[in-house]
């Protein structure tokens, strides 16, 4: 999909994810992703540390000035490439990932989102449990 705004084009797409059980929606994630120029959405510092419990990783990042919330993605590197999956959208600059398997290296990235759309992804970080 291409959007035209002020005579410039930006690539965009819409991501919808449902996680449900029969008869009950547990989580609904709707993300419209745009590359925004000019907004201060860059994530400068992004860290992953071991969580307090088994199978946990704590993520923290420096808040982006213009972000209203953040999109978090996780991947596992296979055959040299990571398959990314949106894990959550949050308003704070930290997140605890739970339910992870031991002896697996996980990849993470985060992007700030303003009322105009999504900024660039942070640098990827990896953490092995």
* pLDDT attached to residue 22: 55
Cβ within 8 Å of residue 116, ≥6 positions away = 34, 36, 39
Query: Is residue 23 left, alpha or beta, with left meaning phi > 0 and alpha meaning psi from -120 to 50?
Result: left
Query: Per-domain residue ranges for the chain?
Result: 35-128
* pLDDT attached to residue 1: 36
Distance between CA 60 and CA 26 in Å, rounded? 25
Distance between CA 51 and CA 88 in Å, rounded? 17
pLDDT digit string, tens, across residues 56-91: 999 999 998 889 999 999 998 777 776 899 999 999
CATH superfamily, domain at 35-128: Immunoglobulins (2.60.40.10)
Q: Is the pTM of this model over 0.95?
A: no
For the chain, where are the alpha helices, taking DSSP H only?
none
């Amino acid at each position: 999909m291409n959007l035209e705004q002020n005579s410039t084009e930006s690539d965009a797409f819409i991501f919808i994810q449902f996680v449900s059980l029969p008869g009950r929606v547990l989580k609904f994630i709707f993300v419209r992703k745009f590359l925004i120029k000019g907004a201060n959405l860059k994530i400068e510092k992004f860290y992953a540390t071991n969580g307090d419990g088994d199978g946990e990783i704590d993520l923290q990042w420096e808040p982006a000035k213009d972000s209203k919330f953040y999109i978090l993605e996780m991947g596992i590197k296979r055959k040299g490439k990571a398959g990314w999956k949106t894990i959550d959208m949050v308003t704070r600059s930290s997140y605890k990932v739970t339910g992870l398997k031991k002896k697996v290296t996980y990849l993470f990235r985060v992007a700030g989102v303003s009322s105009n759309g999504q900024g660039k992804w942070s640098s990827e970080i990896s953490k092995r449990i």
